[in-house]
């Protein structure tokens, strides 16, 4: 399972939209779309930490 697959699965489990996650993380909805589509990966630890917090997961889940 790729990091994008894990982000998407965690988002769906949390019942959130890409826009809602993006607002909590401080990125654009397009950025979340790119992460989930495996086009890009989160480039900073800060974004990964915010993603984990927004989706109620441990950072290690995404690694």
Confidence class for position 40, pLDDT limits 50, 70, 90: very high
Mean pLDDT of the chain: 97
Question: For 28-47, what is the mean pLDDT?
Answer: 97
Residue 24's pLDDT band, with cuts at 50, 70 and 90, is very high
Q: Domain spans of the chain?
A: 3-62
Output the pTM of the full model. 0.94
Contacts of 15 (CB under 8 A, 6+ apart): none
- Chain centroid to Cα 58, Å, comes to 12
Range 8-25 average pLDDT = 98
CATH superfamily of 3-62: lambda repressor-like DNA-binding domains (1.10.260.40)
Q: By C-alpha distance, which of 39, 35, 29 is closest to 10? A: 35
Cα-based angle 8, 33, 51 (whole degrees, multiple of 5): 55
User: Between the CA of residue 40 and those of 3, 5, 15, 31, what are the distances in Å?
Assistant: 10, 12, 22, 8
């Amino acid at each position: 399972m790729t990091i994008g697959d894990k982000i998407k699965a965690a988002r769906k489990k949390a019942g959130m939209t890409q826009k809602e996650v993006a607002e909590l993380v401080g990125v654009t909805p397009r950025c979340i779309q790119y992460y989930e589509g495996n086009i890009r990966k989160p480039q900073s630890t800060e974004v990964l930490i915010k993603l984990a917090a927004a989706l109620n997961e441990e950072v290690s889940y995404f690694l």
